[in-house]
């Protein structure tokens, strides 16, 4: 799915350091990509509405952002016929089971626990490989991704 043309990756994260580390980790991977970023949920939704002819293939969405959080953005995305097919990967430092269950039910493809910079490239690569293997959402027990395995 992603081998012939550059992957358009959009990152929505309010933390400047996290955005910088994500972009640096992405550059370490040997994949053809185009990278865009936004700094909060309101800007994410505005960006997507203005770019419906050039939507990202994958959205890495921070869960805890000001103005509009990741859960609110995911809910809006999946309710919008023009945006609902974007693969959404939730990124967060928290791992509350109730939140994870809700995000899965709302339609996120994967949940990636934010890790230190040393693991970031591997995490991104793992998620991209999973999405390249299948554009379908995984079963709930494969929703959370880490470097070692996909686990419950």
Q: pLDDT tens digit string along 59-108?
A: 999 999 988 999 999 999 999 999 999 999 999 988 788 999 999 999 99
CA dist 26 → 10, 17, 60, 84, 140 (Å):
11, 14, 12, 24, 26
The per-residue pLDDT for range 102-136, each reduced to its tens digit, is: 999 999 999 998 877 778 888 999 999 999 998 78
- Residue 148: pLDDT band by 50, 70, 90 thresholds? low
Fold of 7-151: Rossmann fold (3.40.50)
**pLDDT tens for each residue of 30-47:** 889 999 999 999 999 999
Helix ranges (H only) for 1-142 are: 16-28, 41-50, 70-79, 97-106, 117-133
Residues 18, 114 contacting (CB under 8 angstroms): yes
User: Does 22 or 2 have the greater pLDDT score?
Assistant: 22
Q: Is the pLDDT of residue 19 over 70?
A: yes
Highest-confidence range of 7-11, 22-26, 145-149, by mean pLDDT? 7-11
Is the confidence at residue 57, as pLDDT, over 70? Answer: yes
Please state, in angstroms and rounded to a whole number, the distance separating the CA atoms of residues 63 and 41: 9
pLDDT band at 55 (very low <50, low <70, confident <90, very high): very high
């Amino acid at each position: 799915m992603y081998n012939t043309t550059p992957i358009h990756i959009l990152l929505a994260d309010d933390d400047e350091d996290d955005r910088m580390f994500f972009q640096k980790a992405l550059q370490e991977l040997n994949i053809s990509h185009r990278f865009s970023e936004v700094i909060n949920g309101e800007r994410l939704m505005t960006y997507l509405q203005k770019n419906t002819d050039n939507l990202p293939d994958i959205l890495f969405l921070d869960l805890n952002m000001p103005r509009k959080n990741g859960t609110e953005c995911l809910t809006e995305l999946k309710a919008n016929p023009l945006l609902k097919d974007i693969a959404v990967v939730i990124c967060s430092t928290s791992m509350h089971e109730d939140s994870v269950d809700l995000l899965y039910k709302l339609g996120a493809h994967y949940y990636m626990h934010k890790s230190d910079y040393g693991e970031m490239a591997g995490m991104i690569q793992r998620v991209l490989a999973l999405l390249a293997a299948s554009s379908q959402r995984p079963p709930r027990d494969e929703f959370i991704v880490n470097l070692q395995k996909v686990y419950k």
